[in-house]
Amino acid sequence: MFTIMDGKELHQWLKKQHPKVADGVIFTTGDVMGGDTQIFLEQASRPFLPKPFTADELRAIARETLKQLER
Is 55 inside any structural domain? Answer: yes
Is 60 inside any structural domain? Answer: yes
Is 21 inside any structural domain? Answer: no
Is 50 inside any structural domain? Answer: yes
Q: Does the structure show a pLDDT above 80 at 10?
A: yes
Report the C-alpha gap between 49 and 26 in whole angstroms. 8
Q: Dihedral, CA atoms, 42, 44, 45, 48, nearest 10 degrees?
A: -80
Is 38 inside any structural domain? Answer: yes
Q: Please give the mean pLDDT across all residues of the chain.
A: 91
Across the range 36-56, mean pLDDT stands at: 92
The pLDDT score that the predictor gives to residue 66 is 94
Q: What is the pTM of this model?
A: 0.79
User: 18 phi and psi, to 5 degrees?
Assistant: -145, 70
User: Residue 42 is which amino acid?
Assistant: E
Report the number of distinct structural domains present in the chain. 1
Is 16 inside any structural domain? Answer: no
Domain of residue 38, residue span: 26-71
Which comes out higher in pLDDT, residue 71 or 49? 49
